[in-house]
Amino acid sequence: MEKFPTTQNNTQENSPKPKVEVESGFSDFVPQEFLDDPAGYFESEGKNIKTGEIKYDETGRVREDPTAVKDLPVWRNEKGTEIQAVGKRVNTMKGSVGESGDPFHEYKILERLAQMGLPAAKPVAKAEQAGVHIIVMERVPGIRWSEKDSLKLKENGYTDEDIATLMVEAEQRMNQLKAQFDEAGVIRGWKLKDMVFEVDIESKKITSMVPTDWERTKIIEK
């Protein structure tokens, strides 16, 4: 993990400096604007992935926040290589994050999954600024569950039976992933809405599936 000092302009003199740490191998991708003001960059440059309004539980805590996860602009290094980044503003009261008291719980899970060689997004950077915690990861290639309508299956000749068969395959693949992660001691909930998948439209087959959303995950060390 590489640490980068951040700069401030005169209007930020009284604000605490953001703390940004970037994973080795990604230092030349992260734009200076993010290093200087990660929270501001997330809000101004990010594009909401999910639609809808913020939902609260009976205690008034945020249960679902569609503004908390955003696609960030494409990041490029000096060689012109690109990465697609996804940013997340951490809900410190949600899931295992709240239980552990660690705002970077999910980020640390991603680091461990990378070490274990399990399919997941690669962690890129984490930042803390005036009580706001941001994590950044590479976008997993494929279609998110919220984007499944973009496949236009009916327009591509799929029948209702074809779609039902595809759903069964998706469930089977997810159960296979669950078994793989359980065996490694990675315990989490499993729902199709938390998967990113690739579909071969012509063969009507799912070619890959990768889980996302690790904030409720625990790892049992073996």
pLDDT in tens, 134-185: 999 999 999 999 899 999 999 999 999 999 999 999 999 999 999 999 999 9
The confidence score (pLDDT) of residue 11 equals 42
What's the half-sphere exposure (Cβ side, CA atoms, 13 Å) at 181? Answer: 26
Residue 68's region, left for phi above 0, alpha for psi from -120 to 50, else beta, is alpha
Mean pLDDT, the chain, rounded, equals 90
Domains and CATH numbers, the chain: 2-138 (3.30.200), 143-219 (no CATH)
Terminal alpha carbon distance of the chain? 25
Single pTM value for the model: 0.87
Q: pLDDT over 70 for what percent of the chain? A: 90
Backbone angles phi, psi at 205, to 5 degrees: -130, 145
